[in-house]
Amino acid sequence: FLISQSPACGAQESQEEAAAEGRHIKLSCKYEGSIYSIQWYRQYQRSRTEFLLSIAEGGSVHPTRSDFSAHINKTQRRVDLELISAAVSDSAVYYCAVRPTATGNSSTEDEKLWSKDNTVLH
pLDDT digits (tens, 9 = 90+) for 63-93: 788 889 999 998 999 999 998 888 888 888 8
Kindly tell me if the per-residue pLDDT of 103 is higher than 60: no
pLDDT of residue 47: 92
pLDDT of residue 51: 93
Cβ-in-10-Å burial (0-12, 13-18, 19+) of 47 comes to exposed
**Better-scored residue on pLDDT, 73 or 1:** 73
Neighbouring CB atoms inside 10 A of 96's CB total: 26
Best CA proximity match to 3, nearest among 43, 11, 20:
20
- Structural domains of the chain sorted by starting position, each given as residue range(s) with its CATH number in brackets: 2-120 (2.60.40.10)
pLDDT of residue 34: 84
| Inter-residue contact 118 to 32 (CB < 8 Å) | no
pLDDT of residue 76: 92
Does the pTM surpass 0.95? The reply is no
- Per DSSP, helices labelled H in 38-105 are none
CA distance 55 to 80: 10
Best CA proximity match to 69, nearest among 59, 78, 77:
59
Q: What are the pLDDT digits (tens) for 7-65?
A: 544 444 455 556 678 888 888 888 888 888 899 998 888 999 999 999 988 888 887 88
